[in-house]
Amino acid sequence: MSAARPAGEIPQASQQEGSPRRVAELTPDEHDVIARVRESLRAIRFGTVLIVVQDGKVVQIETAEKIRLR
Protein backbone atom coordinates (compact mmCIF):
# COMPACT_ATOMS: atom_id res chain seq x y z
CA MET A 1 0.00 0.00 0.00
CA SER A 2 1.14 3.53 -0.64
CA ALA A 3 1.36 6.22 1.99
CA ALA A 4 -1.54 8.64 2.30
CA ARG A 5 -1.08 11.87 0.33
CA PRO A 6 -3.28 14.77 -0.76
CA ALA A 7 -5.64 14.04 -3.66
CA GLY A 8 -4.06 14.83 -7.01
CA GLU A 9 -0.47 14.66 -5.76
CA ILE A 10 1.93 12.47 -7.72
CA PRO A 11 3.84 9.86 -5.64
CA GLN A 12 7.43 10.84 -4.79
CA ALA A 13 9.00 8.07 -6.91
CA SER A 14 7.51 9.44 -10.14
CA GLN A 15 8.32 13.08 -9.50
CA GLN A 16 11.06 15.00 -11.18
CA GLU A 17 12.94 17.60 -9.14
CA GLY A 18 11.43 16.16 -5.93
CA SER A 19 8.51 18.59 -5.61
CA PRO A 20 4.84 17.54 -5.54
CA ARG A 21 2.86 18.02 -8.76
CA ARG A 22 -0.86 18.51 -8.92
CA VAL A 23 -3.19 16.99 -11.53
CA ALA A 24 -3.51 20.39 -13.24
CA GLU A 25 0.23 20.29 -13.90
CA LEU A 26 0.19 17.05 -15.92
CA THR A 27 1.59 17.17 -19.44
CA PRO A 28 -0.71 16.66 -22.44
CA ASP A 29 0.79 13.16 -22.88
CA GLU A 30 -0.01 12.30 -19.24
CA HIS A 31 -3.60 13.52 -19.68
CA ASP A 32 -3.86 11.33 -22.80
CA VAL A 33 -2.63 8.25 -20.89
CA ILE A 34 -5.16 8.87 -18.12
CA ALA A 35 -7.97 9.28 -20.65
CA ARG A 36 -7.01 6.07 -22.44
CA VAL A 37 -6.81 4.07 -19.20
CA ARG A 38 -10.22 5.46 -18.18
CA GLU A 39 -11.66 4.43 -21.58
CA SER A 40 -10.23 0.92 -21.17
CA LEU A 41 -11.72 0.59 -17.70
CA ARG A 42 -15.13 1.79 -18.82
CA ALA A 43 -15.15 -0.55 -21.82
CA ILE A 44 -14.93 -3.79 -19.84
CA ARG A 45 -17.02 -5.36 -17.12
CA PHE A 46 -14.70 -8.24 -16.17
CA GLY A 47 -11.04 -8.47 -17.09
CA THR A 48 -7.74 -6.70 -16.74
CA VAL A 49 -6.08 -3.49 -17.85
CA LEU A 50 -2.29 -3.79 -17.98
CA ILE A 51 -0.13 -0.66 -18.18
CA VAL A 52 3.39 -1.19 -19.51
CA VAL A 53 6.01 1.40 -18.52
CA GLN A 54 9.51 1.85 -19.96
CA ASP A 55 11.91 4.57 -18.83
CA GLY A 56 9.17 6.12 -16.70
CA LYS A 57 6.76 6.50 -19.63
CA VAL A 58 3.63 4.51 -20.41
CA VAL A 59 4.32 2.75 -23.70
CA GLN A 60 1.43 0.29 -23.86
CA ILE A 61 -2.03 -0.30 -22.44
CA GLU A 62 -3.43 -3.83 -22.81
CA THR A 63 -7.05 -4.72 -22.14
CA ALA A 64 -8.20 -8.32 -21.70
CA GLU A 65 -11.92 -8.78 -21.29
CA LYS A 66 -13.48 -11.88 -19.81
CA ILE A 67 -17.00 -12.82 -20.75
CA ARG A 68 -18.76 -14.64 -17.95
CA LEU A 69 -21.42 -17.17 -18.83
CA ARG A 70 -23.70 -18.00 -15.95
Taking only the tens place, the pLDDT of each residue in 13-39 is 555 555 666 667 899 999 999 999 999
How big is the CA angle at 14 (ends 58 and 63), to the nearest 5 degrees?
Answer: 30
This prediction has a pTM of 0.62
**N residues, the chain:** 70
Cα 61 to Cα 5, 6, 14, 27, 69, distances in angstroms: 26, 26, 18, 18, 26
Taking only the tens place, the pLDDT of each residue in 44-65 is 999 999 999 999 999 999 999 9
Cα separation, 47 vs 62, in Å, equals 11
Side chain identity, residue 37: V
Domain residue ranges of the chain, discontinuous segments joined by +: 12-65
